[in-house]
Amino acid sequence: MEIMISTDFFSGQISGDAVRTTRTVADLALHWTNREQYEIQKGKILYETESWFPHPDGTEGAVLWASTKIFPGKVGDQHFMTRGHWHLKPTHGELIIVASGTGELVLKSRDGTITKVALAPGVTFHINGDLAHRTINTGTDPLIFWCAWPADCGHDYSDPSLIGEWK
Ligand SMILES: [Fe+2]
């Protein structure tokens, strides 16, 4: 088992063997309404994640955790945001803690009801496992936050109802 050495809360950095990923505007291609602006901005970095997997994804009872940094920006009138997903196990929720920046946590129920939670430094929130969730940077600085979730929650990014803006 790998041992996490340390994290830097405010920058979102995890030392050691964190898994680092970068998403560009093009990775969320179908989510942007303004296609002209999309073509101009599709190469921009949208967000970066650093994830810590003390056990493999899917391990029952394990807790995984990651930081996400969403850069400020817009495609047309849509702010930079994460893809959003469902957990396959509705009892398996997620914790979010905001380190810096401002934005919104957007929650979507199976009946389409949208709930928005304002994000600012120090905000903590428990996301119920039966709600789809995505985060949006509505500010002018990077939005940096931490999430922890059960490794066996399962992720569904493919539901067509999650494509585009949630409103
Ligand atoms: Fe999640």
User: Residues 51-86: pLDDT tens digits?
Assistant: 999 899 999 999 999 999 999 999 999 999 999 999
Quote the ligand 1 centre to 133 CA distance (angstroms). Answer: 7
Using pLDDT thresholds of 50, 70 and 90, give the confidence band for residue 141: very high
Q: What pLDDT shows up at residue 98? A: 98
User: Residues 9-19: pLDDT tens digits?
Assistant: 999 999 888 89
Q: What pLDDT shows up at residue 142? A: 98
Tokens 């930079």 belong to residue: 80
Quote the ligand 1 centre to 37 CA distance (angstroms). Answer: 28
Asked if 151 and 57 count as a contact pair (C-beta separation under 8 A), the reply is yes
Beta bridge partners of 101: none
Quote the ligand 1 centre to 52 CA distance (angstroms). Answer: 14
Q: What pLDDT shows up at residue 152? A: 97
Quote the ligand 1 centre to 53 CA distance (angstroms). Answer: 15
Return the number of other C-beta atoms located less than 10 Å from residue 140's C-beta: 9
Quote the ligand 1 centre to 35 CA distance (angstroms). Answer: 28
Quote the ligand 1 centre to 149 CA distance (angstroms). Answer: 7
Quote the ligand 1 centre to 51 CA distance (angstroms). Answer: 13
Identify residues whose C-beta is under 5 A from ligand 1, the ion. 94
- Alpha-carbon distances, residue 109 vs 9, 124, 143, 157 (angstroms): 30, 20, 24, 15
Print the SS3 string covering 128-142: CCCCEEEEEECCCCC
* Averaged pLDDT for residues 93-117: 97
Among 123, 26, 122, smallest CA distance to 83 is for: 26
Asked if 25 and 42 count as a contact pair (C-beta separation under 8 A), the reply is yes
Quote the ligand 1 centre to 85 CA distance (angstroms). Answer: 6
Instruction: Give the integer Cα–Cα distance in Å for 24 and 38.
Output: 11
Instruction: Give the integer Cα–Cα distance in Å for 141 and 123.
Output: 16
Quote the ligand 1 centre to 93 CA distance (angstroms). Answer: 7
Instruction: Give the integer Cα–Cα distance in Å for 71 and 140.
Output: 8
Quote the ligand 1 centre to 36 CA distance (angstroms). Answer: 30
Among 82, 70, 72, smallest CA distance to 12 is for: 70
User: Residues 85-95: pLDDT tens digits?
Assistant: 999 999 999 99
User: Residues 4-51: pLDDT tens digits?
Assistant: 678 999 999 998 888 999 999 999 999 999 999 999 999 999 999 999
